[in-house]
Amino acid sequence: MPVVDVPVTLRNVTHWIGGKLVESNSARSGIVWNPATGEEQAIVQFASSEEVDQAVSAAKDAFEGWRATPLSRRAEIMFRSRELIHSNRAKIAELLTAEHGKTLTDAMGEVARGLENIEFACGVPHLLKGGFSEQVSRGVDVYQIRQPLGVVAGITPFNFPAMVPMWMFANAIACGNTFVLKPSEKDPSASLLIAELLQRAGVPDGVFNVVQGDRVAVDRLLEHPDIKAVSFVGSTPVAKLIYETATRHGKRVQALGGAKNHMLVLPDADIGMAADAAVSAGYGSAGERCMAVSVVVAVGNVADPLIDAIQERMARIRVGPGLEEGNEMGPLITREHRDRVASYLDCAASEGATLAVDGRRDQVSKRSGFFLAPSLLDNVKPRMRCYDDEIFGPVLSVVRVESYEEALRIIHDNPYGNGIAIFTRDGGAVRQFQFDVEVGMVGVNVPIPVPMAYYSFGGWKASLFGDLHMYGPEGIQFYTRAKVVTSRWPDPSTSKVDLGFPQAH
């Protein structure tokens, strides 16, 4: 986002450090737009490196006290956090809609899916249980414990300003770490409301901090010697950069990147059900979901009836401001992004695809907000830019193929591997598909297979850099390190000098 001069009358979005709002001394800031009207609604301050240091230092000071806080007490605080966020979910959702543009119903869904992660983290006493082996040798026992890492950072994208931070901080702080969040500068306010709610729930000051900003703040977090681990979610080029930079600075990193999610429709699929799924997952949240379906791969003669059914449903989607009841799809995040997404429609046509539905012709796309009505491309092929690039907007592409094998080849050649769905009634085909496909999250007649909080979320290939997936059991592993203790309690009667290598006997 470009650094801009902003009128002083706009609401100011600032940092949350050591349990309070902290004004920025940095001269740098950005605009938070109202995507539904195209107007400016707030100024977000961009942290300087010194302000990031201040947040890290508050987190470092809080760490020893927090990690020593009894597990049962930490669980109780997580439980209260869950209750407070739940009872304030409408307020959070309103902020999400105001700044991101998604509909209120969608925003409520985002908060609910985020809360699942806090619910999971309430079980931290159980999740941190280690193993114990008695009598590995005479009088010797071995046990493993998991300990927090220290100060950890989270850097999050614009499309889920509440849920993705919850993917990260819930497990991180439950495990005893302290946290510095750098939210997206495009919709930063929900993070401050969440910070306040966590404080009210009993999270001690300094355990959860927020620094607003852009690359300057991120760069400082990546190189800061007191940051032990970095969780990132965003586009693939930035994920790769974050992974390479932070690992070079010795940090543990999980960096989730972009996506190009295919939906494979086999000839025996229920056409109506597949069309419902393609439209819901392609245009929900204006296509700005990392698990959105962006390519329908239609096998054999399923293509024509499927496209007819999709178009019929598209015509009924109600597009408009997310705060207005009844609307099903809101605007895109910025004017610049809307224009970029729309540019793929001309580009696709010039590369030989068929522009089956041009959302730019819809009246809603002419409003002052950042709207683009749902669009559909047919006869798309790999190596067209509309296929190769992550568009991240309400543009659904249809690729026609002759066989399952051809579909699989196309999917395998795609650099991303986040989510995928197969639509069919054939159990054998599904079993083969889940065996074959190189994608991290698979849906069987389910279009957006985001795992529940007690599994873990992560793509393969260019959709994830790092070893561990996010949240769930792998999240607990990511935010802790194992220590193995071998112990003998003195029994002077059996003690002797023995210079041999210790062995079990």
**Contact between 466 and ligand NAD per CB under 6 A:** no
* x-marked contacts with ligand NAD along 416-445 as a string, rule CB under 6 A: --x---------------------------
CA distance 238 to 290: 15
Question: Interhelix angle for 104-121 vs 89-100, to 10°?
Answer: 130
Among 81, 261, 397, 463, binds ligand NAD (CB under 6 A): 463
Question: Interhelix angle for 303-314 vs 271-283, to 10°?
Answer: 50
CB 212 within 8 A of CB 202: no
Give least dist CB 353 to ligand NAD, A: 22
CA distance 296 to 274: 10
Instruction: Indicate the burial class of 217 (C-beta count within 10 angstroms; 0-12, 13-18, 19 or more).
Output: buried
Q: Which is nearer to ligand NAD, 295 or 401 (by Cβ)?
A: 295
Helix (DSSP H) and strand (DSSP E) numbers for the chain? 16, 23
Among 127, 259, 293, 303, binds ligand NAD (CB under 6 A): 259
Give least dist CB 155 to ligand NAD, A: 5
Q: Could you give phi then psi for residue 139, rounded to 5 degrees?
A: 75, 10
**Contact between 218 and ligand NAD per CB under 6 A:** yes
Q: Which residues sit opposite 444 in a β-bridge?
A: 422
Give least dist CB 290 to ligand NAD, A: 3
Count of residues binding ligand NAD (CB under 6 A)? 28
β 375-378/11-13 pair status = unpaired
Give least dist CB 107 to ligand NAD, A: 15
CA distance 155 to 157: 7
290: annotated active-site residue: yes
Among 174, 390, 447, 475, binds ligand NAD (CB under 6 A): 390
Q: Among residues 54, 51, 58, 10, which one has the least CA distance to residue 27?
A: 51
Among 215, 366, 409, 412, binds ligand NAD (CB under 6 A): 215
Give least dist CB 175 to ligand NAD, A: 21
Stretch that binds ligand NAD, among 39-47, 78-86, 228-236, 375-383 (CB under 6 A): 228-236
CA distance 419 to 503: 48
Mapped onto helix, strand or coil, the DSSP state of residue 75 is: helix
Residue closest to ligand NAD, measured at CB: 234
**Contact between 365 and ligand NAD per CB under 6 A:** no
Among 51, 116, 185, 378, binds ligand NAD (CB under 6 A): 185
Q: Which is nearer to ligand NAD, 199 or 418 (by Cβ)?
A: 418
Give a three-class secondary structure readout of 396-460.
EEEEEECCHHHHHHHHHHCCEECEEEEECCCHHHHHHHHHHCCCCEEEECCCCCCCCCCCCECCE
Among 120, 283, 387, 392, binds ligand NAD (CB under 6 A): 392
Choosing from 122, 290, 347, 386, which is the catalytic residue? 290
Give least dist CB 245 to ligand NAD, A: 8
Give least dist CB 405 to ligand NAD, A: 28
Stretch that binds ligand NAD, among 103-111, 250-258, 277-285, 295-303 (CB under 6 A): 250-258
Q: Which residues sit opposite 245 in a β-bridge?
A: none
**Contact between 234 and ligand NAD per CB under 6 A:** yes
Q: Among residues 163, 126, 148, 122, which one has the least CA distance to residue 59?
A: 148
Residue 361, CB half-sphere, CA atoms under 13 Å: how many? 9
**Contact between 214 and ligand NAD per CB under 6 A:** yes
Q: Among residues 128, 129, 190, which one has the least CA distance to residue 156?
A: 190
CA distance 420 to 437: 9
* x-marked contacts with ligand NAD along 143-182 as a string, rule CB under 6 A: ------------xxxxxx---x-----------------x
Give a three-class secondary structure readout of 87-153.
HCHHHHHHHHHHHHCCCHHHHHHHHHHHHHHHHHHCCHHHHCCCCEEEEEECCEEEEEEEEECCEEE
**Contact between 116 and ligand NAD per CB under 6 A:** no
**Contact between 256 and ligand NAD per CB under 6 A:** yes
Stretch that binds ligand NAD, among 213-221, 364-372, 373-381, 476-484 (CB under 6 A): 213-221
Give least dist CB 414 to ligand NAD, A: 14
Q: Which is nearer to ligand NAD, 185 or 362 (by Cβ)?
A: 185
**Contact between 290 and ligand NAD per CB under 6 A:** yes
Give least dist CB 266 to ligand NAD, A: 26
Residue 67, CB half-sphere, CA atoms under 13 Å: how many? 17
Distance of CA 332 to the CA centre of its chain: 18
Sites for ligand NAD among residues 49-88 (CB under 6 A): none
Residues near ligand NAD, by CB under 6 A: 155-160, 164, 182, 184-185, 214-215, 218, 233-235, 238, 241, 256-259, 290, 390, 392, 418, 459, 463
* Catalytic residue list: 290
